[in-house]
Homo-oligomer: A and B are copies of this chain.
Amino acid sequence: MSDTEIAERAGLDALAYVTLFKTALKIFGASFLYCVIIELPVNVTANYYAEFNQQPSVAGDPDRQLQFSNFDKMSMGNVDKGSPRLWTHVIAAYWVAFSCYFILYTIYKNMSHLRAQFLSSFGARATVRQYAVLVTDIPASETDRHSQVDSFFHRLHPRTYERAQVITKLSEVDKKYKEKEKVRRKLAHAEAVYAEAQKKDSEKAKRPQHKTGFLGLVGEKVDTIDWCQKRLAELGPELAEERRKTVNERTIDAALVFFNSRAVATMAAQSAHARKAESWQTQFAPEPRDVIWANLGVSWWERFARQSIVYGITFLIIFFYMIPITIVSGFSTLDNLRQFAPFLDPVFDIGAVRAILQGFLPQLALLIFLAILPKLLFFLTKREDLTSLSHADRGTAGKFYYFMVFNVFLGVTVAGSAFGQLKQMTTNPTGIVDLLGSSIPQQATFFITYIALRGFIGYGLALSQLIRVVIYLVKLKFTVKTEEDKREAWAPGSFFYGKNVPKDLLIVLLGLCYAVISPIIIPFCIVYFGLGYIINKNQALNVIVPEYESGGRMYPHIHKRFVASLFIAQLTLLGYMGIMKFTYTPVMIPLPVLTVVFHLFTKKCLETRFTATPIEVAIQVSWFSDVFGGLGNGGVVEMLGHLQEVSEEPTVSEVAAAYTPECMGGIEDVEASFSTAAPASSREYETVLLNGGNGKVIA
């Protein structure tokens, strides 16, 4: 199955995630060719460890003998210090580096090509958002927000601006909508239960009843079906009233602006609009499902403050995460528990229970903390007031990756908490190369075990989907009555990129760091990423339902971390070469420099294609409709009617409807709200202008 097919069926975001595995597979495959086939035999036959122990001065003295496993015998450490055999490893480093550059560049280029294809494809979800620009930080004004936005954009884009949809505070209407939904489902549920009962015994069937008070435990007992029908009849008009109020009274300082030309919308999203930089900020509108409505309408100042605070907290979490854990662990000792819950004493007195609790309790805090960490980071990242879920996912992935690098990777190798690492680094940063070189090679065996465990246990669980099936069966038995209930209970959810991506990238980092030093890690990596590729591709195609579609915006994030891993690996090897007393170590210095240049190169040349849509991509296929400025305009469509594609272009109402949150209802509501607030089309404006009504236009 080709990349294009995956992108079409599962979306570009899922493809970006699957590509992570493909890229890693290719890189470790290429490394395998040299490092395992050529370098590994060189290491094994060198026999440094065994010979060292056979030296007359060492042989008799067990204290001075080196401890080594079979894994160690296959590593670079088994080569004599300063031996010319080390040239093999120099070549290995260059081989790995250049394979990485080649593979990363071609795959990145391919992804950027797919993204361009996705953005310029007709009928795709992409099309809708290419007419829309998200505007935030609309300055305070005395006039009505609708006409304020309207006059501003009409002045700047007189011929291409179509209409604006001011964002509203949805909390009230959402509450009402949720209530209505709840009642509707309660009714469906009650009807299903009643029908089932009637089927069994049509005479004895009791109509379902419930109490109206708190949690259905207190209050008057009513007939559920009747009550629900009555309540629904009331809620209809209430919701409509709430929607009307929301549109007219609860506007916030953000809006979606729709243009009749993809080219102009694309340019407007990338351009500064207002004289004051902190007002009227524009950006590419995220895909409708991707928007975090609740985060819109926060002022520039508040967003700046929130971001600073979130970064501060993240810094504290990464570097001082041991502190809260130690405190909680301290509280959660057995003795404390006894004091807190003396009635459990008899249980604690059972020997086995006590042993398990004593060993297990202090670890529990750590385990819980690590399990909730990605969710906590996601929560924090959302508080930064990012406008889209995809951005929040990327932010979470970045933070979690830093946490893992500092606490798992450096934590294990150099030992101690991240703050310890930081201190060590800042007191001696040229020493960082020596530090990496001296401490990382010793941990090869540990990390090989880590990768194997992560692979087999993690993927085993993912494959069996055990937990999900159990939950589903339980729900099916007890709560599921209607088709809707069933669909919801079985809903597989989406990938949590913020958690998964950094976890897999950590394995990339480990693999690259040990590829030359201890090449036996490579087959483990190949198995890990091979399994991951198969399982995640299957999940993406057949199981997962994506929450949003950002067009593969995650890939630059992944690419950069591949490059960073390569850079760290090169520094490590540089340091280790020094420790191996290799005279020609300076031949390794160009490698990290090259990696930095490669990073800058891909950043300039490919990353920009993910952050901004080029006009050429935006107007692909439909360029001729731009000439006439008509978006779903009757005359033009008729004239160019023989061109099938034109009719697939969304009308501006369709675009607006796509950007209407569920709780605000369907397209009619939006239409109604706009018929008074905004002019139907920019064409009207021009007519007014040409007829000489200069003053009226802006006011």
| Residue positions of A touching B, CB distance < 8 A | 112, 116, 155-159, 263-264, 266-268, 270-275, 277-278, 280, 300, 304, 308, 423, 426-431, 597, 600-601, 604-606, 608-609, 612-617, 619, 623-624, 626-627, 629, 686, 689, 694
Contact B614 A274, beta carbon cutoff 8 Å: yes
Contact A277 B617, beta carbon cutoff 8 Å: no
Distance A606 CA – B156 CA, assembled complex (angstroms) = 21
Contact A604 B304, beta carbon cutoff 8 Å: yes
A155 to chain B: closest residue by CB: B623
A686 to chain B: closest residue by CB: B627
Q: How far in angstroms is the closest Cβ of chain B from A587?
A: 18
Q: How far in angstroms is the closest Cβ of chain B from A277?
A: 5
Known: A156-B616, A601-B304. A277 touches B623 (CB 8 A): no
Known: A156-B263, A268-B267. A614 touches B273 (CB 8 A): yes
Q: How far in angstroms is the closest Cβ of chain B from A282?
A: 10
Contact A604 B689, beta carbon cutoff 8 Å: no
Contact B430 A427, beta carbon cutoff 8 Å: yes
Contacts of A619 in B (CB 8 A): 155-156
Which residue of B277, B600, B689 contacts A609 across the interface (Cβ within 8 Å)?
B277
Contact B616 A273, beta carbon cutoff 8 Å: yes
Q: List 10 A-B contacts (CB under 8 A).
A: A112-B277, A156-B263, A264-B267, A274-B614, A275-B616, A275-B617, A278-B604, A300-B605, A304-B601, A429-B429
Interface centre among A274, A278, A627, by most B CB within 10 Å? A627
Contacts of A278 in B (CB 8 A): 604-605
The 3 closest A-B CB pairs, nearest first, are A267-B267, A272-B614, A267-B271
A611 to chain B: closest residue by CB: B272
Contact A156 B274, beta carbon cutoff 8 Å: no
Contacts of A601 in B (CB 8 A): 304
Contact A613 B157, beta carbon cutoff 8 Å: no
Contacts of A157 in B (CB 8 A): 263
Distance A615 CA – B267 CA, assembled complex (angstroms) = 11
Contact A616 B277, beta carbon cutoff 8 Å: no
Contact B159 A627, beta carbon cutoff 8 Å: yes
Q: How far in angstroms is the closest Cβ of chain B from A685?
A: 9
Distance A623 CA – B155 CA, assembled complex (angstroms) = 7
Contacts of A272 in B (CB 8 A): 270, 608-609, 612-615
Contact B274 A271, beta carbon cutoff 8 Å: no
Which residue of B156, B615, B686 contacts A271 across the interface (Cβ within 8 Å)?
B615
Contacts of A267 in B (CB 8 A): 264, 267-268, 270-271
Q: How far in angstroms is the closest Cβ of chain B from A419?
A: 13
Contact B159 A159, beta carbon cutoff 8 Å: yes
Known A159-B159, A271-B612, A278-B605; 19 more pairs at CB < 8 Å: A155-B619, A156-B263, A156-B616, A156-B623, A158-B626, A159-B627, A267-B267, A270-B270, A271-B614, A272-B614, A272-B615, A273-B614, A275-B614, A275-B616, A300-B605, A423-B430, A427-B429, A624-B694, A627-B689
Contacts of A605 in B (CB 8 A): 277-278, 300
Contact A271 B266, beta carbon cutoff 8 Å: yes
Distance A428 CA – B300 CA, assembled complex (angstroms) = 38
Distance A429 CA – B617 CA, assembled complex (angstroms) = 47
Interface centre among A264, A275, A623, by most B CB within 10 Å? A275
Which residue of B116, B271, B430, B694 contacts A275 across the interface (Cβ within 8 Å)?
B116
Contacts of A614 in B (CB 8 A): 271-275, 277
Contact B308 A597, beta carbon cutoff 8 Å: yes
Q: How far in angstroms is the closest Cβ of chain B from A330?
A: 26
Interface centre among A300, A429, A597, A694, by most B CB within 10 Å? A429
Q: How far in angstroms is the closest Cβ of chain B from A108?
A: 11
Distance A280 CA – B158 CA, assembled complex (angstroms) = 27
Distance A278 CA – B601 CA, assembled complex (angstroms) = 10
Distance A601 CA – B301 CA, assembled complex (angstroms) = 9
Contact A158 B615, beta carbon cutoff 8 Å: no
Q: How far in angstroms is the closest Cβ of chain B from A590?
A: 12
Q: How far in angstroms is the closest Cβ of chain B from A421?
A: 13
Interface centre among A156, A280, A308, A428, by most B CB within 10 Å? A156
Distance A615 CA – B269 CA, assembled complex (angstroms) = 12
A694 to chain B: closest residue by CB: B624
Distance A629 CA – B159 CA, assembled complex (angstroms) = 9
Distance A601 CA – B423 CA, assembled complex (angstroms) = 28
Q: How far in angstroms is the closest Cβ of chain B from A683?
A: 13
Which residue of B156, B300, B689 contacts A615 across the interface (Cβ within 8 Å)?
B156
Contacts of A428 in B (CB 8 A): 427-428
Distance A431 CA – B427 CA, assembled complex (angstroms) = 7
Distance A617 CA – B280 CA, assembled complex (angstroms) = 13
Contacts of A626 in B (CB 8 A): 158
Distance A619 CA – B157 CA, assembled complex (angstroms) = 10
Which residue of B266, B274, B277, B616 contacts A604 across the interface (Cβ within 8 Å)?
B277
Interface centre among A263, A608, A623, by most B CB within 10 Å? A263
Distance A265 CA – B462 CA, assembled complex (angstroms) = 53
Q: How far in angstroms is the closest Cβ of chain B from A627?
A: 5
Q: How far in angstroms is the closest Cβ of chain B from A687?
A: 12
Interface centre among A267, A273, A300, A614, by most B CB within 10 Å? A267
Known: A156-B615, A158-B626. A271 touches B273 (CB 8 A): no
Q: How far in angstroms is the closest Cβ of chain B from A387?
A: 16
Distance A270 CA – B627 CA, assembled complex (angstroms) = 21
Q: How far in angstroms is the closest Cβ of chain B from A571?
A: 14
Contacts of A273 in B (CB 8 A): 614-616
